[in-house]
Amino acid sequence: MMQDFPFYLLLIVAITLLIMLANKVKVAYPVLLVIAGVFISFLPGIPIVHIDPELIFIIFLPPLLYEAAWAISWKELWKWRRIIGSFAFIVVFLTAISVAFIANYFIPGFSIALGFLLGGIVSPPDAVSAGAILKFVKVPKRLSSILEGESLLNDASSLIIFRFAMIAVATGQFVWYQAAISFSWMLIAGVGVGLCIGWIFMKGQKILPTDANMDTILTIVAPYIMYIVAEELYGSGVLAVVSGGLFLSNKRHHFLSSSSRLRGVNVWESLVFVLNGLVFMLIGLDLPEIISGLEGVSLSSAIGYGVLITLVLIIVRILSSYGAVIVTLIARNYITVADTRSPGFKAPIVLGWTGMRGVVSLAAALSIPTHIYPDGPVFPQRNLILFITFIVILITLIIQGLTLPYLIKKIELPNYNDHLPNNEADEMIKRELAKLTVMHLSDKYGEDLKKSVFLQQIHEKWKSKIDEDSDQLLSLEVKLIYLDLLSEQRKWLITQNDEKDKHFDEDLIRKHIMKIDLEEERTRLLH
pLDDT tens track for 89-107: 888 999 999 999 999 999 9
Tell me whether residue 486 is in a domain: yes
What angle, 0 to 180 degrees and rounded to 10, lies between the N-to-C axes of helices 506-525 and 476-498?
A: 170
Q: What is the pLDDT of residue 75?
A: 80
From CA 227, how far away is CA 243, in angstroms rounded?
11
From CA 273, how far away is CA 53, in angstroms rounded?
20
Q: Are 80 and 120 part of one and the same domain? A: yes
pLDDT digits (tens, 9 = 90+) for 358-410: 878 888 888 888 777 777 778 888 889 989 998 999 899 888 888 888 888 88
- 169 neighbors 376 (Cβ within 8 angstroms): no
Tell me whether residue 200 is in a domain: yes
Q: Are 383 and 519 part of one and the same domain? A: no
Section 404-430 average pLDDT: 72
Residues with Cβ within 8 Å of residue 357, at least 6 apart in sequence: 122, 124, 125, 126, 313, 389, 392, 393, 396, 397
Q: Are 453 and 329 part of one and the same domain? A: no
Q: Give how far the C-alpha of residue 458 lies from the chain's centroid of Cα atoms, to the nearest Å.
A: 40
Q: Are 389 and 497 part of one and the same domain? A: no
Q: Are 172 and 297 part of one and the same domain? A: yes
Q: Are 480 and 504 part of one and the same domain? A: yes
Percentage helix, strand, coil for the chain under 3-state DSSP, each rounded to 5 = 75, 0, 25
Tell me whether residue 416 is in a domain: no
Q: Are 462 and 390 part of one and the same domain? A: no
Burial (0-12, 13-18, 19+ Cβ within 10 Å), 394: buried
Section 223-230 average pLDDT: 95
Render 206-243 in DSSP notation, one character per residue.
HHS---HHHHHHHHHHHHHHHHHHHHHTTS-HHHHHHH
- 389 neighbors 365 (Cβ within 8 angstroms): yes
Section 220-231 average pLDDT: 95
Section 327-355 average pLDDT: 71
Tell me whether residue 230 is in a domain: yes
Tell me whether residue 85 is in a domain: yes
Domain stops at, among 411, 436, 451: 411
Q: Are 107 and 190 part of one and the same domain? A: yes
Q: Are 284 and 203 part of one and the same domain? A: yes
Q: What is the dihedral of CA 301, 302, 306, 309, to 10 degrees?
A: 70
pLDDT at 168 over 90: no
Q: What is the largest CA-CA distance in the chain?
A: 88
Closest CA to 279 of 30, 523, 527: 30
Section 291-307 average pLDDT: 84
Other beta carbons within 10 Å of 106: 14
- 201 neighbors 226 (Cβ within 8 angstroms): no
Q: Please, what is the Cα angle at 57 between 249 and 250, to 5 degrees?
A: 5
- 350 neighbors 142 (Cβ within 8 angstroms): no
From CA 224, how far away is CA 220, in angstroms rounded?
8
Q: What is the pLDDT of residue 445?
A: 78
Distances from the Cα of 210 to the Cα of 37, 215, 230, angstroms:
41, 6, 26
- The DSSP call for residue 345 is S
Residues with Cβ within 8 Å of residue 234, at least 6 apart in sequence: 182, 185, 186, 189
pLDDT at 483 over 90: no
Q: What is the pLDDT of residue 126?
A: 80
Domain stops at, among 387, 411, 435: 411
CATH code, domain carrying 344:
1.20.1530.20
Q: Are 376 and 291 part of one and the same domain? A: yes
From CA 410, how far away is CA 251, in angstroms rounded?
40
The SS3 assignment for 280 reads helix
Render 368-409 in DSSP notation, one character per residue.
S-SBSSTTSPBPTTHHHHHHHHHHHHHHIIIIIHHHHHHHHH
Tell me whether residue 487 is in a domain: yes
Q: Which of 47-56, 258-267, 349-358 has the lowest mean pLDDT?
A: 47-56
Q: Are 70 and 212 part of one and the same domain? A: yes
Domain stops at, among 356, 379, 411: 411
Q: Are 365 and 444 part of one and the same domain? A: no
Closest CA to 162 of 139, 132, 192, 182: 182
- The band of 335, judged by pLDDT with boundaries at 50, 70 and 90, is low
Q: What is the pLDDT of residue 96?
A: 92
Tell me whether residue 417 is in a domain: no
- 134 neighbors 146 (Cβ within 8 angstroms): no
- The band of 464, judged by pLDDT with boundaries at 50, 70 and 90, is low
Q: Which of 2-11, 303-312, 358-367 has the lowest mean pLDDT?
A: 2-11
The parent domain of residue 480 ranges over: 422-525
Tell me whether residue 75 is in a domain: yes
Structural domain count of the chain = 2
Other beta carbons within 10 Å of 220: 15
Section 427-436 average pLDDT: 75
The SS3 assignment for 101 reads helix
pLDDT at 527 over 90: no
From CA 261, how far away is CA 80, in angstroms rounded?
27
The SS3 assignment for 526 reads coil
- 174 neighbors 164 (Cβ within 8 angstroms): yes
